[in-house]
Amino acid sequence: MTDADTVCAAVAQVRPWTKEEKNTLRRIVTHCLRVWPSLARTYSQCQMSLVERGEAVGYDWNQIAEFDRELIRLFESGQPDRVIEMMADKVKTSMERYYPDCPLLDYLQFLKEYSERRSPQMTAAEHLAK
């Protein structure tokens, strides 16, 4: 993978995106920016680092494409909050596996918020209001 490549382009080589899917992915990112900005920023900032580190141990582009397709399906079926939860869980587990020592401030903020949102004392509505 070269610096000019993007994650989207790499996934598209495995499974080309339709115009509708691209539009839904944009809506997902917009929704994420509204409800959990540090997740959106972390997702964006760390994506290439995750890929570069992950490719060294066999990053699975098919699995990423399937994950994105599931996000699209859930979002289109009216489950945007579930999409955000899945994105957060995916970012957390991927970062722990491929980039556990990430120093980015947005990532550190995301971890703090992730922990708070998973707190058993908070209701689902409170988590989403954060």
Q: Where are the domains of the chain?
A: 7-129
| Residues belonging to the chain | 130
Cα–Cα distance measured from residue 66 to residue 118, given in angstroms and rounded to the nearest whole number: 25
Per-residue pLDDT of 71-127, as tens digits, reads 999 999 999 999 999 999 999 998 888 888 889 899 999 999 999 998 775 555 555
The set of residues, in sequence order, having a beta carbon less than 8 Å from that of 117 and lying 6+ positions away, is 88, 127, 130
pLDDT at residue 4, as a whole number: 39
